[in-house]
């Protein structure tokens, strides 16, 4: 018997509703992972990723896991036990970086920031004289805050700069080369507008040359992976593992769709939708969480009004309107909502819908 | 402009052509990874996997990576530096197990077998008096050989028995509980007939209790993962990472399709197709590679006839017939072909097609 699948408006912190072109590509005839026709598709996906990343890095590819696998790949390939990682923590994903780095045996120097505020590059610079790695989150999905990676690039010294761009890529300017970022990873399910399952990744030649030769993860070993996805081992593609071919086809189609609209126009669309949402929320008398001037357009954090039950509102939105929004994270779990307008959802109709529905939900729930 | 996508017959070692039901499910409206409707789908997928695995293990779930991520998860969660792993090597994936185990810092005791022959349980038993782990490959994709895991279960003693079932699950009998297997992993892209991207995984309660508390991989930490996918952390699902929701929907649909036909009938269909193919190849005068009595029906290995250029034949098949078959592995790269009839491809029409096409390709190429 047919299982009824609800048609949701995915206005949470991700996944968002995918671009239709990305969904259609999932249904294309499957290709083998070594098929010349698939390799061509993979190459197009990697080229498209270079544009989204703002990089000319040869080693730019989608890893076969979600964004968190990208984070793990960043640390296991750059750090040996005892190496020092200075990690800027201003949200959940900074916290996670500390955990992942510690499992490589790294000495983790945390630079804690109040949730809702951006990374302070000077404090990061002052934290340690010569770290192996400096890492932080460009767009903190847990708090809705953007941080300035050009500033981090300027103070990194000899350290490798690792950037989590899970929520920024495809929705706002990302300039890996210009900012001096050495390693960056992302996810597909936010502003790229593709289902979750891949981790777009890029690493500079310099960082690759300094990489750990035999990282603790075989699956995420960039030395082995590069030979497959970017043909850099010389003499054709070497088999490493079976690539998730359907997801790669979807990624290629999603990026193609973004570039057809134009990356600047897509960024502007996210900017406009976020601004309209944030203005609308303030007009409703709600208070935004993220520090002014550092707010992500694609992911808005807002305080739950006093006396309102956060979970009840979210249930009401889901049950009555098929709208998913996110709760807060950690100590803000029930006092903050997270509203994402990403990918195809970054548009005026989504803004109108969520504002109207949220007003009703707050009144009724 | 439309990119023409070739419609391939995927008769290599995997991926195979997916079941149409699995492909259709990729196009369903996307759900959030914490949506109750998605959790229900994930639960159904896990239930279905229990049936395919032949287990009642609570912790039975699809990991968010390909089969090789499953292999890594098996080792990082069961072994600490200095622990002993006895690994039966009778093909590429046994070799890979040694590499993955060594990156956990394990002391690896290899039990080498000639490629094309099955694992000798007695030799494995004699290799070390008290290993932490015994591991091997149930269906070696690189050689087309099946090994007897009931025999390994009988000699495992206090060791944990790890089984690679990437190519067996969904195509032949797999009895995790009956055989005494403690940890097993697979892929979706072989006999389950789903696109690559997930690693079905199962671990017994006993093995879970003995697990490494803080494995070197955060992404594949079963202690953290279990709380999300199987709700075993108590009090609802905890967020670990964003599940690849589209792929999980596809897996659920693929398994549902298998169970609708009936697992025994599906197994019999693979058996019949493999037998017909192997008989047909021998009638053509070709020589099978895997030892008689230990041949996989779903993945047939056959010697390239003397004087025939393996690569030319494969190119001919691809270009003229849109048929993909695999070359051999390692020193057999150009002297063996691998022909898979998996998932929906395990049927008489596929047999007729590949036999006829191969005959022409050998004559013409």
Q: What is the DSSP string of A192-214?
A: T-S-S--EEEEE-HHHHHTS-SS
At which of A236, A260, A284 does a domain end?
A260
pLDDT at residue B229 greater than cutoff 70: no
Distances (CA, A) of A162 to A70, A138, A182, B179: 11, 10, 6, 46
In the prediction, which pLDDT does B214 show? 96
Query: Is residue B240 domain-resident?
Result: yes
pLDDT at residue A302 greater than cutoff 50: yes
In the prediction, which pLDDT does B234 show? 47
Q: Are residues A200 and A315 both part of a single domain? A: no
> How far does A270 lie from chain B, in Å, by closest CA?
20
- Between A and B, how many CB-CB pairs are < 8 A? 180
Q: What is the DSSP string of A50-92?
A: HHHHT---SEEEEESS-HHHHHHHHHHTT--TT-EEEEEESSH
In the prediction, which pLDDT does A231 show? 59
List strand residue ranges (DSSP E) for chain A, in order.
9-10, 59-63, 84-89, 107-112, 133-137, 139-140, 145-146, 160-164, 183-185, 199-203, 299-303, 323-324, 326-327, 336-340
**Which chain B residue has its CA at the smallest distance from A213's CA?**
B103
Q: Are residues A315 and A337 both part of a single domain? A: yes
Q: Which is nearest to B63 in space by CA: B213, B183, B170?
A: B183
Interface test with A, best of B217, B224, B327 (most A CBs within 10 A): B217
Residues of A with CB below 8 A from B104's CB? 216
Q: Are residues B163 and B225 both part of a single domain? A: yes
Q: Domains in chain A: how many in total? A: 2
H or E element: which one contains A252? helix A245-261
Query: Inter-chain contact B65–A68, Cβ cutoff 8 Å?
Result: no
Q: Which is nearest to B269 in space by CA: B360, B197, B171?
A: B171
ipTM reported for the complex, 2 dp: 0.96
Q: Are residues B167 and B271 both part of a single domain? A: no
Q: Which is nearest to B54 in space by CA: B239, B317, B263, B313?
A: B263
User: Per-residue pLDDT averaged across A22-49, rounded?
Assistant: 96
State the average pLDDT for chain A.
96
Phi (first) and psi of residue A234, to 5 degrees: 85, 140
Query: Is residue A25 domain-resident?
Result: yes
In the prediction, which pLDDT does B365 show? 84
Residues of B with CB below 8 A from A6's CB? 29, 31, 35, 37
Question: For residues A135 and A85, is the Cβ–Cβ distance under 8 A?
Answer: yes
In the prediction, which pLDDT does B4 show? 87
Q: Are residues A48 and A186 both part of a single domain? A: yes
Q: Are residues A44 and A73 both part of a single domain? A: yes
In the prediction, which pLDDT does A1 show? 65
User: Per-residue pLDDT averaged across A283-312, rounded?
Assistant: 98
User: Per-residue pLDDT averaged across B150-158, rounded?
Assistant: 98
Share of chain A above pLDDT 70, in %: 96
Query: Inter-chain contact A103–B218, Cβ cutoff 8 Å?
Result: yes
Residues of A with CB below 8 A from B35's CB? 6, 8, 318, 324
pLDDT at residue A234 greater than cutoff 70: no
Categorize the per-residue pLDDT at A365 as very low, low, confident or very high, splitting at 50, 70 and 90.
Answer: confident
pLDDT at residue B339 greater than cutoff 60: yes
Shortest CB distance from A28 goes to which of B5, B215, B240?
B5
Give CA A197 to chain center in angstroms: 12
In the prediction, which pLDDT does A237 show? 66
> How far does B106 lie from chain A, in Å, by closest CA?
12
Query: Is residue B129 domain-resident?
Result: yes
At which of A217, A243, A260 does a domain end?
A260
Shortest CB distance from A195 goes to which of B10, B218, B244?
B244
pLDDT at residue A235 greater than cutoff 60: no
Distances (CA, A) of B138 to A32, B174, B217: 23, 9, 25
CATH of residue A278's domain is 3.90.1150.10
- Which of left, alpha, beta for B82 (phi over 0: left; psi -120 to 50: alpha)? left
> How far does A27 lie from chain B, in Å, by closest CA?
6
H or E element: which one contains A21? helix A20-26
Pairwise CA distance, residues B297 & A54, whole Å: 48
Residues of A with CB below 8 A from B96's CB? 218
CATH of residue A211's domain is 3.40.640.10
State the average pLDDT for chain B.
96
> How far does A345 lie from chain B, in Å, by closest CA?
13
Query: Is residue A1 domain-resident?
Result: no
pLDDT at residue B33 greater than cutoff 70: yes
Six-digit token string for B229: 């996918």
Categorize the per-residue pLDDT at A4 as very low, low, confident or very high, splitting at 50, 70 and 90.
Answer: confident
Q: Are residues A250 and A161 both part of a single domain? A: yes
Give the domain range for residue A334: 9-15+263-364
Query: Inter-chain contact B26–A104, Cβ cutoff 8 Å?
Result: no
Q: Which is nearest to A136 in space by CA: A172, A108, A104, A178?
A: A108
Compute the C-alpha angle B72/B73/B74, nearest 5°: 90
Query: Inter-chain contact A196–B99, Cβ cutoff 8 Å?
Result: no
Q: Are residues A240 and A290 both part of a single domain? A: no
Q: Encode B13-32: b = buried (16+ Cβ within 10 Å), e = exposed.
A: bbbbbbbebbbbbbbbebbb
**Which chain B residue has its CA at the smallest distance from A8's CA?**
B31
pLDDT tens profile B232-271: 544 456 778 999 999 999 999 999 999 999 999 999 999 9
Query: Is residue A3 domain-resident?
Result: no
> How far does A49 lie from chain B, in Å, by closest CA?
19
Q: Are residues A244 and A267 both part of a single domain? A: no
Shortest CB distance from A5 goes to which of B37, B72, B99?
B37
Pairwise CA distance, residues A133 & A302, whole Å: 33
Share of chain B above pLDDT 70, in %: 96
Query: Is residue A280 domain-resident?
Result: yes
In the prediction, which pLDDT does B231 show? 59
Pairwise CA distance, residues A95 & A80, whole Å: 19
Q: Which is nearest to B170 in space by CA: B22, B329, B294?
A: B22
User: Per-residue pLDDT averaged across B264-283, rounded?
Assistant: 98
Distances (CA, A) of B33 to A219, B44, B241: 24, 14, 9
Interface test with A, best of B1, B27, B32, B186 (most A CBs within 10 A): B32
Residues of B with CB below 8 A from A27's CB? 23-24, 26-27
Q: Are residues B254 and B299 both part of a single domain? A: no
Query: Inter-chain contact B318–A35, Cβ cutoff 8 Å?
Result: yes
- Within chain B, residue ranges assigned H as helices are 20-26, 36-53, 67-76, 92-103, 121-126, 149-155, 176-179, 205-209, 222-229, 245-261, 263-283, 310-321, 348-364
Q: Give the residue, B207 or A240, on which the prediction is more confident.
A: B207
Query: Inter-chain contact B29–A7, Cβ cutoff 8 Å?
Result: yes
At which of A200, A225, A260 does a domain end?
A260
Q: Which is nearest to A173 in space by CA: A284, A55, A59?
A: A55
Q: Are residues A133 and A219 both part of a single domain? A: yes
Query: Inter-chain contact A244–B64, Cβ cutoff 8 Å?
Result: no
Query: Is residue B3 domain-resident?
Result: no
Q: Give the residue, B136 or A233, on which the prediction is more confident.
A: B136
Residues of A with CB below 8 A from B100's CB? 218
Query: Is residue A324 domain-resident?
Result: yes
pLDDT at residue B340 greater than cutoff 50: yes
Q: Are residues B340 and B250 both part of a single domain? A: no
């Amino acid at each position: 018997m047919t299982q009824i699948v609800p048609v949701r408006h995915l206005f949470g912190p991700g996944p968002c509703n995918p671009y239709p072109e990305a969904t259609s590509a999932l249904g294309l005839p499957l290709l083998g992972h070594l098929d010349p026709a698939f390799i061509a598709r993979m190459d197009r996906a990697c080229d498209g990723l270079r544009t989204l990343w703002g990089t000319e890095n040869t080693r730019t590819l989608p890893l076969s896991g979600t964004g968190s696998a990208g984070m793990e790949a960043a640390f296991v390939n750059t750090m040996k036990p005892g190496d020092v990682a200075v990690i800027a923590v201003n949200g959940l994903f900074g916290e996670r970086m500390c955990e992942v780095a510690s499992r490589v045996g790294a000495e983790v120097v945390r630079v804690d920031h109040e949730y809702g505020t951006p990374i302070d590059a000077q404090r990061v610079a002052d934290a340690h004289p010569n770290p192996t790695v400096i890492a932080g989150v460009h767009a903190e999905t847990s708090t809705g805050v953007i941080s300035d990676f050009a500033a981090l690039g300027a103070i990194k010294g000899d350290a490798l700069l690792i950037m989590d761009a899970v929520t920024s890529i495809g929705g706002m300017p990302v300039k890996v080369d210009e900012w001096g970022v050495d390693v960056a990873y992302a996810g597909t399910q936010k502003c790229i507008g593709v289902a979750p399952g891949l981790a777009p990744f890029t690493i500079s030649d310099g960082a690759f040359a300094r990489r750990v030769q035999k990282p603790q993860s075989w699956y995420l070993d960039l030395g082995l992976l590069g030979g497959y996805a970017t043909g850099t081992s010389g003499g054709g593609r070497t088999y490493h593992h079976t690539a998730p071919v359907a997801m790669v086809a979807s990624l290629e189609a999603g990026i193609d769709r973004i570039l057809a609209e134009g990356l600047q126009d897509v960024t502007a669309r996210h900017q406009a939708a976020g601004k309209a949402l944030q203005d609308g929320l303030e007009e409703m008398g709600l208070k935004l969480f993220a520090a002014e001037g550092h707010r992500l357009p694609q992911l808005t954090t807002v305080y739950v009004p006093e006396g309102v039950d956060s979970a009840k509102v979210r249930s009401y939105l889901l049950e009555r309107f098929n709208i998913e929004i996110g709760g807060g994270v950690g100590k803000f779990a029930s006092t903050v909502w997270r509203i994402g307008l990403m990918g195809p959802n970054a548009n005026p109709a989504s803004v109108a819908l969520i504002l109207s529905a949220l007003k009703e939900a707050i009144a009724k729930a």
